[in-house]
Structure 1
Amino acid sequence: MQNPDTQAPAKKKRTRLSPQDREHLILTGAIEFVADHGFAFSTRELARHLNVSQSLLYRYFATKEEIIEKIYERVYVGRWNPEWDEILTDRKLSVQERLECYLLDYSKVVLQKDWVRIFLLTAFEDPIISQRYISMLRRRIFEPLLDEQLASMGRKALANPKDRELALELIWGFHSSIFYLGVRQWVYKTPTRVNIETLVRSRTRSFLVGFEAFLNELDQPTNGENPPC
């Protein structure tokens, strides 16, 4: 008879995950993998990294394209705060207050490792994620911000398409400066030493001063002269 003190420890019961939990774990692992390696992978490589069989992976994601779509939905669409749209059009606040409020919350999302690296790495292989997201930014952030800034100045929408496109480019450049903070941290490994909130507020104020001046200059006649270089 075996001594009770020398009995082998009982085996732990293996927890059986629900299909929903299993899918969540696989997708979370896929996001981490893609953030480090990009989309130039095979489903076999992904399955090996996740320590699951390829057949199990296919049970939840039939194709690599489906994995990419789910990653986009989780990381980009899923983290989009619908209140951002409302904040930017809330005329009870100044444009500066609205923009600061939006960007401070937006920076908490965009400065995450998976957000930054997936956005950049996939752009080199297939820019579908970056193109879709930028299109959403233009429609839901850049264009409303331009219209709200014009309204705050008592101005109507820009009639000249070239002027409007230039104005949107200026907004895009300013907005991208927030994303660049994430690039510095997660790509260049040189994060800013300045408090993010202080930096966002300072950049917002500086941008709006120059942006308002730009919009006012659109009404000024140039007399056909080019400014000095």
Structure 2
Amino acid sequence: MKDERPEGAEKPRRRRLPSDERRREFVTRAVEFFAEEGFESSTRGLAKRLGVTQPLLYRYFPSKEDLIHEVYETVYVNRWQPEWATLIGDRSRPLADRLNEFYNAYTDVIFNREWMRIYLFSGLKGVDINRRYMQLVRHRILEPIVIEARAEAGLPEAVPRDDEVEFAWVMHGGIFYYGVRDLIYESCVSADKRQVIADAVAAFLHGLALKRG
């Protein structure tokens, strides 16, 4: 398309954003960038994508690690819903019902292409995003689930044993990998996510009961 500005006219300048808004914009674009390019990509490449200078980017994020930390907070920590903890611990309802509702809500958040790609890229390149998130999953999801399973079975609510948590990982990992196969590998998977979750929850609770004998 022909540029119809009068000869010699200046190009429109990039709109100057308030500092906080510019910072949020940089993080949002960094999420998109790392999801596409992975973590071996340089901040120079990100600055080019943003249309700003690398020194300007460093004014907001003194290092690549600082920027990655913000990406982690944005994509993983800030998407955690506080009501999920209340849901898991609501003993007025059977645990199976609670887990089904939780995992349907949880996967509505994490079954996102950017979320998945950043998680997988971080593991491949030694970035600690996925290790940190796995600790969050253990403390906020799996250990509470094991405690609730103990309570429902009439057992003491002791600190969850590692073997119990590993058993919960099997359920959680299976649900997670369903999303990976769908969003990353684009393989043929069941279109009924609710049924996949229901089957995983039922298998976990039945297997846990057998395990305890």
Q: Compute the TM-score of the two structures, normalised by the length of structure 2.
A: 0.88
Name 2:81's counterpart in structure 1. Answer: 81
What's the offset of the Cα at 1:190? Answer: 1.6
What's the offset of the Cα at 1:122? Answer: 0.7
Name 2:27's counterpart in structure 1. Answer: 27
Name 1:211's counterpart in structure 2. Answer: 208
- Once structures 1 and 2 are overlaid, which stretch shifts more, 150-159 or 73-82? 150-159
What's the offset of the Cα at 1:185? Answer: 2.5
- Shift of the 14–118 alpha-carbon distance from structure 1 to 2, 3 Å rule, reads closer
Name 2:193's counterpart in structure 1. Answer: 196
Q: Matches of 1:139 and 1:7 in 2, distance apart? A: 59
Q: Matches of 1:66 and 1:47 in 2, distance apart? A: 15
Name segments (4+ residues, structure 1) moved above 6 Å.
Answer: 10-13
Name 1:56's counterpart in structure 2. Answer: 56
Q: Compute the TM-score of the two structures, normalised by the length of structure 1.
A: 0.82
Q: Matches of 2:149 and 2:125 in 1, distance apart? A: 36
Instruction: Give a deviation string over 1:29-78, Cα, whole Å, max 9, x none.
Output: 11111112211122111111222111221121111010010001000001
Identity of aligned residues (%): 37
RMSD: 2.3
Name 1:116's counterpart in structure 2. Answer: 116
State the SS of the aligned residue for 1:194.
coil
What's the offset of the Cα at 1:186? Answer: 2.9
What's the offset of the Cα at 1:83? Answer: 1.2
Residues matched between the structures, number: 208
The gaps in structure 2 that reach 5 residues or longer are none
Name 1:44's counterpart in structure 2. Answer: 44
- Shift of the 123–189 alpha-carbon distance from structure 1 to 2, 3 Å rule, reads same
Name 1:171's counterpart in structure 2. Answer: 168
Q: Matches of 1:152 and 1:7 in 2, distance apart? A: 72
Please tell me the residue identity of whatever aligns with 2:183: W
Larger radius of gyration: 1
Name 2:70's counterpart in structure 1. Answer: 70
